[in-house]
Amino acid sequence: RMEDFRTEVLGLVKAQMVKNAVIVPAGAKGGFVAKQLKKFASRDEVQAEVIRCYTTFISGLLDITDNLVQNQVVPPKSVQRFDEDDPYLVVAADKGTATFSDLANSISEKYGFWLGDAFASGGSNGYDHKKMGITARGAWESVKRQFQETGLDCQNTDFTVVGIGDMAGDVFGNGMLLSKKIRLVAAFNHMHIFIDPTPDSATSFVERDRMFKLPRSSWEDYNKELISKGGGIFNRSAKSIPLNADIRKALNIEGNAKAMAPMDLISAILKAKVDLLWNGGIGTYVKSEDETHAEVGDSGNNALRVNGNELRCMVVGEGGNLGLTQLGRIEFAQNGGLMSTDAIDNSAGVDSSDHEVNIKILLNRIVEDGDMTEKQRNKLLAEMTDEVGALVLSHNQGQSHVLSLANLQAVEKVADHQRLMMSLVREGRLNREIEFLPSVSKIKKRMNQGQGLTRPEIAVLLAYSKIKLSEQLVEDGIGKDADLIKEIHAYFPKPLTERFGEHMASHPLAQEIVAGHVTNNIGNRMGSTFSTYVQEETSASALNLVRAYLAAENIFSIPALWDSVNELDFKIDNGLQSKLLISIQALLEKATLWLLRNTREELSIQKLTDTYSPGVEKINNNIGSILTQTSQDHLQSQVNELTEQGVPEAVAQQVAGLQYHFYGLDIIRVAANTQKEVIDVAQTYFALEMNLDLHWLRNSVHNLKTDDVWQRKAKSGLGDEIDNSLRTLTQEVIQSSTDINDLGARLEHWHELNGDNIKHYQVTFNEIKAESVLTLAMVSVAIRELRNLI
């Protein structure tokens, strides 16, 4: 609409910038309005005018874009450039232009633009988003994950839904076919209101599937004989719509109203007490209580729009863009609702386009070199459709899952989120007000009330942290790292890697692809605060951060363990499963910090893996003979606790043993310094830990409550002090008794050499241990006494 298209485009720009976290392009959003349409134009006349406008729009973009000719940048004619060379411009199907990809590519071809049919994704020889159902499938991953938090398996258990859209639409239509257990109670589009008070999931699924396959359909095409008692299909143009007891009950409409205006009925549908609200339409239907309709900028829906605190659904799935304002999302989440953002939920479409473009750029070069025909290229593209879909959906799964983990820790991590926001603001990357993120004073208020950021707010931070890390990696020259450039193979489908893997490192966007791929992997495992926190703690470059992190994953075999825990979906309690994953996150953060602080030479993923992985594996395989009896009993107790709750024995042992595996880094360092066997050093290390009661001290540090960033830094520092002191003491004990092989005799010899200091340590330690409430100061004194033993 002429009156609000600027607001529409601005909202889409914000969503697009957040989606850029999962794709290569920096991204932008443009739009056009066909403002010279005739008042009573036919459908064909409207289409012709829209095509004319679109042609002008695309031509205008290409008129001011650099081109590549024989790998040389050629600036556009009659253009004075103020920016650097930038020939990368791609367009993706969107509102009103979903079928225009071939048209855009034909315009690109006339301009001789270097990308060929990679310019506009989704054309005749591209990935059709509607046929793949990729946008809806991506959003459905968020829906499944959030239902899992409540214990509901929406693929195997009936659940109720209200929706925005119709079965002819890509996102709504595909979405309502992603589970055979959907009980669609009500839905509406711009023409009709559909109500089925008590639907049968199996029967209604078959009917929706039939409608989706029609060339064109509306809710009027739904077989009315299949609609349950009291339901029906109603025109939005009617003055009023009759109500009955069945409709009132299904939509939780109070009183005995006999009829309702269509707009009011739609508001009731939005506020219905159902399991899922699925948005697959166009428009903004939910705002916050504090926002005005004018601020929303979608006047056509003012009469039916509701507030976030009025929604009574359990989960919102945002297959479409801008269905809720960000403040509406936050309000819904603060009232216990589960949702992310549109940019998180429906990123699969743009992600699919990104893969298509990068695959075509690679294959077009191979075609140009004569190693493949265009027909063969098109056949291969089609054959890889499922693989591309799986790669894209892995991003949706990862993002949604890490947001669930972050949401569980929102209160305890609020100081970390505040620190991240301050860092992003300081660097000029983030404007809190534009992104509706709380100010410093509002954060303090939430902390005082025992509240953290909501999931929609954390989703914004996740995207910004990814964008920051990806940009830093490009600036650091990630493409020049021999180990990291190999990560490009994981971005592309396997058939492509197997046939043309040797060409991938020379892809024009290889560096950006690797930076984005690595960033997504780290962000989707570790969350929004990890990279900035580690960099601020160590002053490490983004490149070294990534090297240390990936080395840590290798050393502790994390990918396999992470997958093993994920395979326990609905087999164990979701809260327990999340705790297991959070413990893995904690290990990875500590290990990454350790590797950055303890590696003086140039960081190499392969070298670090080769140095530490064998020793950690040896400790893992011999944990029974390494630990003291007390530690063995403690470890077994943890394993038993997990197995009793359904965790497989092997997984329980791996997760429970993570803390001991981490100590392996210090043990391996001492073994290298003393030329002793890892097992021998480990036995000394854990014997000293028991002898000095450091397990209790470590737990005391872990249990210290922190209210701000500085207290967390102090707490982290105390933990490091314990680790460093024990490592140094282990080395001293071994070096002071090089000719003594018996562990007991070795420790006895050390006691003889340090008797007075050890006695003073034990007296002070016991005094502190006797206190009922431990403070940061008390623990600091205990650690100072520990250092005095060195």
Q: Which residues are catalytic?
A: 29
Structure tokens at 79: 């253009």
Q: Does residue 120 sit in helix, strand or coil? A: strand
Q: How many residues does the chain have?
A: 790
Residue 534: CB partners within 8 Å, gap ≥ 6?
A: 540, 545, 549, 589, 592, 593, 596
For the beta carbon of residue 225, count every other beta carbon within 10 angstroms. Answer: 6
Backbone angles phi, psi at 359, to 5 degrees: -65, -45
Q: Does residue 730 sit in helix, strand or coil? A: helix
Structure tokens at 404: 């669930």
Backbone angles phi, psi at 786, to 5 degrees: -65, -45
Check if the beta carbon of residue 188 is closer than 8 Å to that of residue 139.
Answer: no
Residue 491: CB partners within 8 Å, gap ≥ 6?
A: 355, 358, 391, 513, 514, 516, 517
Closest CA relative to residue 390, chosen from 127, 93, 18: 127
- CA pair distance 324, 327, nearest whole angstrom: 8
CB-based burial label for 483 (10 Å; 0-12, 13-18, 19+):
middle
- CA pair distance 674, 686, nearest whole angstrom: 17
- CA pair distance 381, 389, nearest whole angstrom: 12
- CA pair distance 521, 267, nearest whole angstrom: 40
- HSE, side-chain direction, 13 A CA sphere, residue 318: 26
For 234-289, the DSSP string reads EETTSS-EE--HHHHHHTT--S--SEE-HHHHHHHHHT---SEEEE-SSS--EE-T
Check if the beta carbon of residue 315 is closer than 8 Å to that of residue 338.
Answer: yes
Q: Does residue 366 sit in helix, strand or coil? A: helix
Residue with tokens 């009103």: 96
Question: What's the helix, strand, coil split of the chain in %, to 5?
Answer: 60, 5, 35
Quickly count helices (H) and strands (E) in the chain: 36, 12
Check if the beta carbon of residue 193 is closer than 8 Å to that of residue 218.
Answer: no
For the beta carbon of residue 155, count every other beta carbon within 10 angstroms. Answer: 14
Residue with tokens 């140095």: 611
- CA pair distance 779, 787, nearest whole angstrom: 12
Amino acid at 630: T
At residue 249's C-alpha, the angle toward residues 246 and 255, to 5°, is: 105
At residue 345's C-alpha, the angle toward residues 568 and 348, to 5°, is: 95
Residue 451: CB partners within 8 Å, gap ≥ 6?
A: 334, 410, 411, 414
Structure tokens at 89: 């411009």
Q: In what side-by-side order are the strands of the sheet with 232-235?
A: 232-235, 192-195, 182-188, 159-164, 276-279, 315-318
- CA pair distance 159, 136, nearest whole angstrom: 18
